[in-house]
Structure 1
Amino acid sequence: MLTTGLFGWLSSDHHLMALMAQNWWLGVLIVAGIVFLETGLVVLPFLPGDSLLFTTGAFLGASGISPLWAILLTGLAAVLGDGVNYLVGRSAAGQWLIRRGWITPRHLQKTRAYFDRFGAPTVTIGRFVPIVRTVTPFLAGLSGMCPRRFALYNVLGAMMWCPGLLLAGYWLGGIPWVRGHMSWLTAGIVVASLLPVLFQLRRGALATGG
């Protein structure tokens, strides 16, 4: 019940807009915290980072507030989150989480499929795919990826993901039609980000004759 209520609050751009209207600094810090949790805790893949970043950018653009601090804070949160997740994967805690069933085999299989297809750049590419971006750094640590190589792709992915969505919202947020259809647009972003996952699952089903 608590998880459902939290997800409902985070998925509502109205709640986020209302909070930022009162204190945009606090709103940005909360969004950065959510980005850190989504990327840093492998057991929280449900958090809607894509839509939150876009909505935050839209609010800043409509309010005439520079997106610089939002880009820096969320980017830092994304880098640190992946770093923590990677370290957990490298530690004994990673194997313990798998044995305890905290990470579903379906999520692991989906992320392994991306690793098989893209290799180490999955750390960067996975940023744009829900669930995959949460499990990827954990799996990278679990598989023993070189720390320096992981750090490179980690920073590169964060520099593309956070500024990309924030600036998209920032530039589009000033358009009246966009402001009036923000709920539909954020939902569309979530759907679009899920398309690679659905495509990969479809390919897997065809390959196995399902």
Structure 2
Amino acid sequence: MVHLDLASLIRTIGLLGVAAIVFTESGLLIGLFLPGDSLLFTAGLLAAQGYLDIRWLVLACFAAAVAGDQAGYAFGLRVGRALFQRQDSRFFKKRYLVQAERFFLRHGGKAVTLARFVPIVRTCTPIVAGIGRMPYQRFLAFNLLGAALWAIGITLAGYWLGNVIPGIDRYLLPIVVAIVLVSLAPSALHLWRERQATLPHPPRAGAPLPAKERDRT
């Protein structure tokens, strides 16, 4: 999920390489498992140490995040929708398309913004938004908002901590692991709740037995 020697990676690929990873993870399916949050934080930390210019870093990451979501939206709108125009199959059913359209009409702004902070989800959301034909102007507005909160916010957090806490780079590995765990927590919680909802629950004391159970007794 994350390259544990991110500092060395960033020093090798430089500013353009960081921007390329941010772009890929923001809207291209091949970027599903790239280290977005930890990459931004570590890049900000290195900027505090003088390896990168924080002004260019923030600008490049923001622009790459916006462009990545735009690319994902365009792909979903032009290519993704075409998959649902064919005869229903196991994975592509027209009712899924209708459901996506309804969802992004009602909750699209919140989804596009909050998805930035959830690995894998942030890559898929702009594509699904395009498939669901979320109004473009609305998508663009929340794309800009989400990119600012995510790409600029996390990068500046790393930069700020790098300036405030001397020698914080010695604790980079546990910090990166913590960022990954926090990023995955919402998805894990959602999956746990779904699993709990599908598990059978014992009847409450005093509650009438189901008809099948009554027949057996």
Q: TM-score range by the shorter chain?
A: 0.7 to 0.9
Question: Are positions 1:193 and 2:183 aligned together?
Answer: yes
Q: 1:3 — aligned with what?
A: none
**Aligned-residue offset at 1:209:** 1.9
Residue 127 of structure 2 corresponds to residue 134 of structure 1: no
Aligned to 2:161: 172
The CA distance in 1 between the partners of 2:108 and 2:11, in whole Å, is 41
Displacement of 1:95 in angstroms is 4.6
Q: Which amino acid aligns with 2:130?
A: G
Distance 1:42 1:29, change over 3 A: same
Aligned mates of 1:33, 1:178 — CA distance in 2: 26
Q: Output one character per residue of 1:136-168: Cα deviation in whole Å (capped at 9) or x when no partner.
A: 000001111101110011000001101111111
SS in 1 for 2:116: helix
Letter in 2 for 1:125: L
Deviation at 1:178, TM superposition (A): 1.8
Shift of 1:134: 0.3
Whole-Å separation in 2 of the counterparts to 1:192 and 1:115: 26
Equivalent-residue separation in structure 2 for 1:94 and 1:49 (angstroms): 27
CA distance in 2, matches of 1:14, 1:182: 9
Are 1:55 and 2:42 matched, yes or no? yes
1-structure distance, mates of 2:134, 2:4:
33
Using the size of structure 1 for normalisation, the TM-score is 0.78
* Structure 1 counterpart SS, 2:130: helix
Superposition pairs of residues 1-210 of structure 1, within 5 angstroms: 10-19=3-12, 27-63=14-50, 66-93=53-80, 95-96=82-83, 118-174=107-163, 175-209=165-199
**Number of residue equivalences:** 188
1:95–1:47: structure 2 CA closer, same or farther, 3 Å change rule? farther
Percent identity (aligned) = 41
C-alpha displacement at 1:115, in angstroms? Answer: 6.5
Segment of structure 1 superposing worse, 133-142 or 199-208? 199-208
* TM-score under structure 2 length normalisation: 0.76
Query: Contact (CA 8 Å) 2:2, 2:35: kept in 1 or not?
Result: no
**Does the 8 Å CA contact 1:53/1:165 hold for their aligned counterparts?**
yes
**What is the rounded CA distance, in whole Å, between the counterparts of 1:182 and 1:128 in structure 2?**
20
Larger Rg: 2
* Whole-angstrom distance in 2 between the partners of 1:173 and 1:193: 21
Q: Is the 8 A contact 2:26 2:69 kept in 1?
A: yes
| CA 1:74–1:51: 2 relative to 1, 3 Å | same
User: Following TM superposition, by how much is the alpha carbon of 1:177 offset from its aligned partner in structure 2, in angstroms?
Assistant: 4.5
- Which moved further from structure 2: 174-183 or 164-173? 174-183
| Structure 1 residue 9, shift from structure 2 partner | 8.3
